[in-house]
């Protein structure tokens, strides 16, 4: 309620106290002349009054010992779990080590928690991160999923943390975490905005070069150093657990002591050793793709089987690969809505040559992750990696797209997670009203059916149907390949044609023109929330109508 009592005087006073030259950092990156820019800055800001900054820090966080537990309830459909441990500030020598530990735990599909919690259908999602605002830090493990598996998810998470403390960090998993950090670092510095924010943020902490020191510490950390940090900061007696569950579900544990006893009794859940990385198989040479035309800076090639390949050369340390296919959700039978989404998600869970774990490990070791997507009219997969890994990344992406094995267990897992995701959607006060709006605007049309399906249709999708859908929609679909990066266009197009030789061109079935309701339509739902969400829609020009530019404006 405090913001409601703010007056203009409060806001103006805050601005007058803190928005002073000595408390401000200005970072500019771009094709500018430094001397001219500085003179311009001086003209704009040189007369601002300076003065001493009166700071009022919050209360000091006292040290504590003893596991803490709290349970909350609300009008939600899924349960939220959050473990937390007090850590250290951003500039502390141990912060890069804890960041690496969090990545080993919960970053990427090859992480410990993804494999032991998410892939075991105990939670719809799980992540780990070390949050360090400035003066202190907290390492968080957060999971959300069905209420009936929440306690099991907590127990497995606790056992993974125990195994991390006792058995230590593996050399290979630390190497994977480093590659992910390194790629994220490169991606951020790809844009002028990213560079300016990087400079300003680290300068605010004392010196912009501190960022380079942080990265060096992280990329040179040893498994022993990271394990030591885990043992010192993530002790069981220093942890806390918050559980937020639907009000309709029964209570879990009555106090912290009972919860701690339950967690400590959890059996060990060691991660199976990874199979050796498979050597890339070089396919036989195919006909070189034909250059059809160049539009702007995009060169358009076409393979012998008719697949278009779009290549844009762009100065960048990252190369982006994409496969997009028309159709999918718009072609699905109404009683199998979500089939394309399940197919796209399960394609990354194993091929004829690699298991899901191998795909995750190899893609993340390259510094990226293959990402599936499914929309109303198209679907596909994308992969971004440092440019030197183009060939290996292209091989992995092609294997996922053309040679996915769709194991029964993987399909069952993705169906379970998809249903949990749909339940979570009802708790999202932005996306859920928009979904209701679209359903009301396009009744009986594919646009009105969510691309990720509904609970009833997801449940009836069978493994054989997924495999047949892949054959029909992918191997014989209307596909487009795209490559953006600092590449030789002819060589990149030839590589794509070779790797994706199994694709054959098909014709999209097209989508029937939808009809808009002829009278105002209202869809509403009441919830016990502190917010009200309102979404309003009108018909607008199609993407082929030039009036869409005016509509956007």
pLDDT in tens, the chain (553 residues): 667 788 999 889 888 889 899 899 999 999 999 999 999 999 998 888 888 888 888 888 788 889 999 999 999 999 999 999 999 999 999 999 999 999 999 999 999 999 999 999 999 999 999 999 888 899 999 999 999 999 999 999 999 999 999 999 999 999 999 999 999 999 999 999 999 999 999 999 999 999 999 999 999 999 999 999 999 999 999 999 999 999 999 999 889 999 999 999 998 877 766 666 666 666 666 689 999 999 999 999 999 999 999 999 999 999 999 999 998 888 998 899 999 999 999 999 999 999 999 999 999 999 999 999 999 899 999 999 999 999 999 999 999 999 999 999 999 999 999 999 999 998 888 899 999 999 999 988 889 988 999 999 999 999 999 999 999 999 999 999 999 999 999 999 999 999 999 999 888 778 888 889 989 999 999 988 888 999 999 999 988 899 999 999 9
Strands 290-295 and 298-302: antiparallel
For 27, 29, 77, 195, 303, the CA distances from 33, given in Å and listed in that order, are: 14, 10, 55, 17, 46
Instruction: Determine the Cα–Cα distance for residues 308 and 291; give it in Å rounded to an integer.
Output: 10
Q: Residue 278 has what pLDDT? A: 61
Sort residue 204 into left (φ over 0), alpha (ψ -120 to 50) or beta. alpha
C-alpha span between 194 and 208 (Å, rounded): 13
Q: Which residues contact 156 (CB under 8 A, 6 or more apart)?
A: 116, 117, 120, 122, 266, 269
pTM: 0.90
What pLDDT, on a 0 to 100 scale, did the predictor assign at position 3? 73
Predicted pLDDT at 275: 62
The sheet with strand 125-131 has its strands ordered as: 68-74, 239-246, 79-87, 137-145, 125-131
Considering only CA atoms, which of 98, 78, 382 is closest in space to residue 244? Answer: 78
Q: How far apart are CA 265 and CA 390, in angstroms?
A: 46
Structure tokens given for 75 = 């009008």
Q: How far apart are CA 86 and CA 130, in angstroms?
A: 9
440 contacts 523 by C-beta, under 8 angstroms? yes
Q: Minimal CA–CA distance to 472: which of 368, 327, 297, 346?
A: 327
Nearest residue to 283 via CA among 480, 503, 488: 503
Strand order in the sheet with 308-313: 290-295, 298-302, 308-313, 478-485, 318-326, 378-386, 371-374
Largest CA distance in the chain: 73
321 membership: H or E segment, kind and range: strand 318-326
Element (H, E) at 390: helix 390-403
Strand 68-74, strand 239-246: pairing: parallel
Task: Indicate the pairing of strand 298-302 with strand 125-131.
Answer: unpaired
Cβ–Cβ < 8 Å for 291, 299:
yes
25 alpha carbon, distance to own chain's centre: 30
Write out the two tokens for 108.
């990427």
Looking at residue 508, its pLDDT comes to 79
Residue 168, Ramachandran bin (φ over 0: left; ψ between -120 and 50: alpha; else beta):
left
Cα–Cα nearest to 288, from 481, 479, 496? 496
């Amino acid at each position: 309620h405090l913001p409601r009592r703010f007056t203009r005087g409060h806001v103006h006073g805050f601005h007058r106290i803190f928005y002073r030259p000595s408390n401000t950092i200005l970072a500019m990156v771009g094709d500018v002349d430094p001397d001219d820019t500085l003179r311009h800055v001086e003209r704009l800001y040189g007369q601002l009054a300076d003065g001493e900054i009166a700071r009022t820090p919050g209360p000091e966080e006292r040290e504590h010992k003893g596991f803490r537990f709290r349970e909350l309830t609300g009008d939600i459909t899924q349960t939220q779990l959050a473990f937390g441990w007090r850590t250290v500030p951003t500039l502390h020598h141990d912060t890069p080590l804890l960041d690496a530990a969090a990545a080993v735990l919960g970053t990427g599909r090859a992480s410990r928690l993804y494999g032991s919690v998410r892939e075991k259908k105990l939670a719809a999602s799980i992540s780990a991160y070390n949050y360090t605002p400035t003066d202190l830090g907290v390492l968080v493990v957060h999971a959300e999923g069905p209420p009936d598996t929440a306690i099991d998810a907590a127990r497995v998470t606790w056992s993974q943390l125990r195994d991390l403390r006792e058995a230590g960090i593996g050399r290979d998993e630390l190497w994977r975490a480093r590659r992910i950090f390194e790629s994220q670092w490169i991606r951020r510095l790809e844009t002028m905005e990213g560079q300016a924010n990087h400079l300003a943020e680290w300068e605010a902490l004392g010196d912009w070069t501190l960022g380079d020191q942080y990265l060096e510490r992280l990329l040179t950390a040893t498994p022993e150093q990271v394990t030591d940090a885990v043992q010192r900061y993530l002790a069981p007696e220093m942890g806390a657990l918050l559980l937020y569950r639907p009000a309709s579900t029964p209570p879990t544990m009555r106090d912290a002591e009972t919860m701690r006893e339950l967690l400590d009794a959890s059996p060990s859940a060691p991660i199976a050793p990874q199979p050796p990385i498979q050597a890339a198989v070089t396919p036989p040479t195919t006909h070189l793709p034909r250059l059809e035309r160049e539009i702007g800076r995009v060169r358009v090639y076409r393979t012998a089987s008719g697949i278009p390949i779009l290549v844009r050369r762009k100065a960048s340390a990252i190369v982006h690969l994409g496969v997009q296919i028309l159709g999918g959700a718009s072609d699905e039978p109404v009683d199998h809505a979500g089939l394309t989404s399940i197919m796209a998600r399960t394609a990354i869970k194993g091929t004829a040559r690699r298991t899901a774990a191998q795909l995750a490990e190899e893609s993340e070791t390259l510094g990226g992750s293959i990402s599936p997507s499914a929309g109303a009219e198209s679907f596909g997969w994308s992969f971004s990696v440092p440019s030197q890994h183009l060939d290996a990344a292209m091989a992995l992406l092609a294997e996922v797209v053309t040679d996915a094995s769709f194991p029964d267990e993987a399909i069952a897992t993705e169906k379970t997670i998809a249903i949990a995701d749909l339940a979570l959607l009802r708790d999202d006060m932005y996306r859920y009203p928009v979904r209701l709006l679209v359903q009301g605007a396009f009744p009986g049309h594919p646009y009105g059916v969510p691309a990720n399906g509904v609970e009833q249709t997801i449940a009836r999708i069978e493994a054989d149907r997924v495999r047949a859908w892949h054959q029909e929609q992918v191997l014989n679909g209307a596909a487009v390949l795209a490559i953006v990066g600092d590449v030789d266009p002819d060589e990149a197009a030839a590589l794509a044609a070779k790797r994706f030789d199994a694709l054959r061109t098909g014709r999209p079935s097209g989508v029937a023109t939808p009809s808009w309701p002829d009278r105002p339509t209202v869809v509403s739902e009441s919830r016990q929330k502190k917010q009200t969400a309102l979404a309003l829609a009108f018909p607008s020009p199609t993407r082929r109508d030039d009036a869409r530019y005016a509509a956007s404006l």
